[in-house]
Amino acid sequence: MNFDFSDDQKQLRDQARKFLTEKCSPKAVRVVLDGKAPYDKELWKGLAEMGFLGVAIPEEFGGAGAGHLELCVIAEEMGRANAPVPFSSTVYLAAEALLIAGSDAQKKKWLPAIASGEAIGTLALFEGNGNPSPKAIKLTAANGVLNGVKKPVADGAIADFAVVAARTGSGGRDSDISLFLVDLKAGGVEVKSLTNLDPTRGQAEITFRDCKAEPLGAAGEGWSILTQVLDRAAVLCAFEQVGGSDRALEMGRDYALDRIAFGRQIGSFQAVKHMLADMYVSATLARSNSYYGAWALSTNAAELPEAAAAARISATQAFQHCAKNNIQVHGGMGFTWEFDCHMYYRRANAMALGLGSLTYWEDQLIDRMRKKNAA
């Protein structure tokens, strides 16, 4: 047993951290936060050049072919830096869907474009309703055209293509859902940006009107593919959340050491110390659950569904906990736009909803644990 990343993977982490510290300062994040750009194009290009966008994409499709553990390491750093780029939608959702279900031609078309930073992708799943469920999907697919509205779609306004979940049967069963690939720059698509909790990663409403689409994976397999995509993304997002938690904790710790009140460093007050200790505890539990998820993801273990749900819940809670208490440690300063605390608070709460809420994942976890116990 060796429950840790390898030296090479840790080196990759250092490299990613160094790169992001330089290219993704809080000042750079604020350009997007303040609405001056929809995402950081320079950073996106840089990430492609570093090979980070295609780190888990096989070499034959233009990637680095390193693997998912390497992607986890980079995800953590993306979360730490609060990177304002469509990384999760493109790399965790769109690319993973292609890797799982894409035809050779589809992979050849889109994966190299993702790895090189030329194509931004996303997953169009939700239709206003909060949680992933076959019943909630109303958008229809018939004779190769889609009709319906998706919202919210993460990074939908800047995406070049989308994996779209559509209804191909009339019931609420899993087998009534199929997936499609849509070139969003082609006709029949109308995109509207939505304001959202975290402007550093946009959300959109996409209307499909007799929009041409090609199937991704077999008809009726959509839900089963989606479940796999969401599980993988849950682990990868968990690493972003762990990175964010750590950064929020670090910011709080540093401020507690610098700020003086009543003639003392506020970090010497036990209420503040204990608040930071509790942040450390939740970040640590989340990290450990995420490591287990990373192992399951990278080995495609039978434990993945359960491990993914546990990582998702734990990391979501930790990031929310650390982000909110980071503001508390900072006092009034923490509640100003000028301080960076709210960027992590926004990201933590937006991420908590992106793949379905905590409630949804709690349900998933218990179902999966029951199944395992029954087996």
Partner 1 sequence: MNFDDTPQEAEFRAIARAWIGANAPKQYEEDLRKSSLGRTVLRNGNILEVAKAWQKKKADAGWACLHWPKEYGGRGSSPIERVIWQQEEGPFGQLSRMFIIGHGMCGPTMMAFAREEHKRTYLPPLASGEKVWCQLFSEPAGGSDVAGLRTRAEKDGDDWVINGQKIWTSGAHYSDYGILLTRTDPTVPKHKGLTMFFLDMKSTGVEVRPIKQASGASDFNEVYFTNVRIPDHQRLGEVGDGWNVSLTTLMNERSAIGAAVSTGFPELFEYCSSLMLDDGPAIEDRAVRSKLANWAVKASGLKYTSMRAISALSKGERPGPENSIGKLVAGSMIQDVATYALDLQGARGVISGEDAELAGRFQAMLLRAPGTRVEGGTDEIMRNIIAERVLGLPGDIRVDKDVPFNKIPTKGRS
Instruction: List contacts with partner 1 (CB under 8 A).
Output: 1-6, 69, 249, 253, 256-257, 264-265, 267-268, 270, 272-274, 276-278, 280-281, 284-289, 291-292, 294-295, 298, 309-310, 313-314, 317, 359, 361-363, 365-366, 369-370, 373
Closest CB to partner 1 among residues 115, 256: 256
Select from 216, 272, 241, 234 the least CA-distant residue to 104. 216
Report the distance separating Cα 129 and Cα 113, nearest Å: 31
CB of 25 to partner 1, least distance (A): 24
Closest CB to partner 1 among residues 167, 330: 330
Closest CB to partner 1 among residues 124, 322: 322
Closest CB to partner 1 among residues 158, 235: 235
CB of 267 to partner 1, least distance (A): 4
CB of 367 to partner 1, least distance (A): 9
Closest CB to partner 1 among residues 8, 22: 8
Phi, psi at 305, each rounded to 5°: -55, -45
Closest CB to partner 1 among residues 154, 307: 307
CB of 51 to partner 1, least distance (A): 21
Query: Tokens representing 166?
Result: 């559509």
Closest CB to partner 1 among residues 161, 291: 291
CB of 58 to partner 1, least distance (A): 20
Closest CB to partner 1 among residues 6, 11: 6
At 63 the three-state DSSP class reads coil
Report the distance separating Cα 345 and Cα 46, nearest Å: 26
CB of 76 to partner 1, least distance (A): 14
**DSSP label at 266?**
G
Terminal Cα-to-Cα distance of the chain (whole angstroms): 25
AA identity, residue 35: G
Query: How many C-alpha atoms does 167 have within 13 Å on its Cβ side?
Result: 19
CB of 318 to partner 1, least distance (A): 9
* Beta-carbon contacts of residue 225 (< 8 Å; ≥ 6 apart): 97, 100, 101, 179, 216, 217
CB of 366 to partner 1, least distance (A): 5
Are the CB atoms for 346 and 120 separated by under 8 Å? no
Closest CB to partner 1 among residues 211, 308: 308
Q: How far is CA 232 from CA 107, 236, 295, in A?
A: 18, 6, 11
Query: How many C-alpha atoms does 144 have within 13 Å on its Cβ side?
Result: 2
Are the CB atoms for 243 and 82 separated by under 8 Å? no
CB of 79 to partner 1, least distance (A): 18
Select from 83, 57, 87, 88 the least CA-distant residue to 70. 57
AA identity, residue 176: D
Report the distance separating Cα 255 and Cα 332, nearest Å: 12
